[in-house]
Structure 1
Amino acid sequence: MKICVLFGSFNPLTKAHVTALKTAVDAIGADKGLFVATNGQYLKRKTVKIGDPFYLPEDERKVIIEQVCESEPNLEFWGFELGGINPSRFKTLCKIQKQYPDAEIYEIQGADKVHTLLTNSYDEEYVGNFRFVIFERNGIDLDEMFNESPLLSQQRASFVILPPIDEISSTEVRNRFYAGEDFSTLVPQVVVEALNKYKPTDFSISFEERMKVTMASGRFGRQTARKEIYKLNTKLFHDWQNGTSDIVFGNHKAFLDGAKLYRTPCDVSDIGKVYESTQTGCINADCMDIAEQLIAQGYNPAILNLASAKKPGGGYRDGSGAQEESLCYR
C-alpha cells in the first residue's frame, strides 16, 4: 500500500493543491492521498508574524477539504499537523505510519523545500523512514543538492522526481480577495462560496495578538514593547489625521481648528480661569487614555507634549527615542 501526504496551511485550499496531490497519487500508483493542514494554533501565530490577518479556522478548513474530497475518491482529509505552535511533520508522519503500519508513506514537496529535510532534528530518521515525491522548480538543481548531501545521496532511491506543476499560491488568492478581484479560477467552488461570506475588513490583527506573539518569541523587552506601542499609536494617529478613523476625540480637522499653538513664552492668565494653586502628579499611563477619562469626568484637559524640539513626538515616526508628556488639568 502506498499513501501520499500533502502538508499545507490550505488558507485557503487552491486547485493547485488538489492537482499536486492527485498528480503524485497517479504518478506512483498510490492507494490514497491525504491532506494534512497546518494546525490553527501555529497558523494564527504565523499570520500575526507576517502581518497578513487572513485566517480560516480549523473547522472551516476541515469542512472545505472534506467537501472537495467527496468528488475525489482517492483523496482524504487526515487532520491537522501535530505539535501546536511547534508543528512537526516528522511526528505527524510517524502517527500516519502507525495508522497504516504496512504502507509506504510518501511526503509531497516542492524542490525548494528539500533542503528543510536536512535542518530537521530528526533528519536521518525522517529521510530514512519515509519516501518523498518532489516536484521540480525552475532554478533549483536537485542533482547538485543530492550530490552535496551524503544523507540525500544515500537515500536517493526514496525520492520520486516529477516535472513542475502550477505554483500553489494561497497568497495570490488572498491578494485578490483583499483587492476585490476575481479568484474563482484558482480555487474549488466550495472555497468561493466560503470566502463570499467574508469581507476583507473581517480579518484583522489586534494589538494584543501582536504583543502576545512578540512575547512568546522570547525576544520581548522594553525596547521591543516601546517600538510595538509606538507603531500602533502612529498608525492610529495617521488614520485619524487622514480622516479614515474618527477615534474617540472627534474629527482631526475640527481638533486642529480648535487648537492653540504657542511658539513663544506667554502669560496664560488672560486666556482662561486663574487658579490659586496647581496640583501635580505622575501617572504611568498614556496621556490620551488619561485625557479620555478626564473628559468623561467633566474636565477639560490640555495635553502638553514635552518631547525635544529636534525630534517632535519623541521619535514616534521611527519607533525610538523618548516621548514624555505632561497633562495639566482642572
Structure 2
Amino acid sequence: MGVDKRKDVSNSDSESKGLKVDKEKSTMKLKPNSSGSKRRRLDSRDEEEPKSLSNVNNGFKKRCWDPCNIYIFGAPGTRKTFWTNIVFPNAYKKSMDDNWENYNNDHIIVINEIERGSASQTNLLNILDRAPIKIQVKGSSLDYVGMYQVLISNTGLRELYDYDGDIPYYERFYRAIERRFNFIIEYRKIRNDSVRVCNVECTCCRIQRIFHKGSREKFQKLEFDIEFDEKITRDCALEIVRKLNREGKLLQLDNKIIWREDFNDDNRYMVRDGDELHLDFIVYSEILVQDLICEEISSFANDQLVALTEHIMKRVWNNKVLKYSTSFRTYIEETLNGLYITRMELCAALFYLVK
C-alpha cells in the first residue's frame, strides 16, 4: 500500500493562537475559537516572509491560495442548487455581475445564473485565479478572499462564450478557464422507460451527475483542498484559517500547505453510486421517501431510521442544517419503537411534509 505523505502541521502552540486541538484523535483538527483570545505576535520566522505578513495584517486580507472552483451545469428543472444549499448553507450568493452588496470577507461564494455572455472573460478568470483581486462594494474597494467558489449555470462551460468562428482563440480561452476548475459536473435527467424527461422540476425523473472533471470520490467525501502559495509559512496559514472560525485540518504535502475545511458530511442518503466511476445520482428527499414506502421498511434498524428522519427533516426546513435537541431525537426513537405511530405511518407523514 502507498504511504500518505500528508501530515498535520498543527502543533501544540496552536492553542496559543486560539485554535483548539483535538488530541484524542490521531489527526489533529482545528476547531472554531470561542475563547476570544488575542492574536499572538508572529515570530521571527514570519518576518523573513514579507508576503506572508501582508496577508494577515489587519485581519483576513488578501488571497494567497489556489481556490477550489466547482462548475455545475444542467438543463432547467434539474435542481442544481440543491447540493450547494446542503453543503454550503451560509455561502455568499450572487449572480454573475459586478454587484457585491453586503460582501464581508466571505470565503464561500455561490454564483448563480451564469449564462452566455453574462461575464467578461477577464472578470471570470480573475475570480477563478489565485492572484489577489479587489471588488467594488458600495463605492469602496475591498480585497476578495474567496476560497470555495461554486458557479451554477444552465449552459456548459464550453458554450459560455461564442467567438463567431474564431476557433483558435476560443479553444485557448476554454483551456485556460477549464484548467482553473477543480470539478466540472453536469446534471442530467434520465428515465428507465420510453417517456420523455420532464422539462420542469419533478419526482418521476432521475437526476444523474456526470463528472467531466475532478474526482467523484473526493467530491462525495467533501474533500475540497485549498493550497496556499509557496511563500506562505505554516504560522501564517494557521493565522489565516483561524480567522475563518471553521473546523478543519492543515495538511502538508511535500512543500505545500493545504487547508481542508470540514463541511456538513450528509451524503448517506443524498447520493447513490452509478454504474461507472464518473457517474452518480442525486436522491431528493421526496424521492427517497417514495422509495422507502415502496421498499421493506422492516429492513431498517431503528438507528438508521432515526438518522434518515433527521436527514429528511433538515431538507424540509429550507435546506438548513438544524441542531436537534435530545427531546426531538427521543421522540423519533419512541415513535420508531411503536409508542406513537408505526414505521409506515412515519414514512407517510414525512412524504406529506416534503410534497
TM-score normalised by the chain length of structure 1: 0.27
| Higher normalized contact order (CA 8 Å, seq sep 6+, divided by chain length) | 2
Larger radius of gyration: 1
TM-score normalised by the chain length of structure 2: 0.25
Higher helix share: 1
Higher strand share: 2
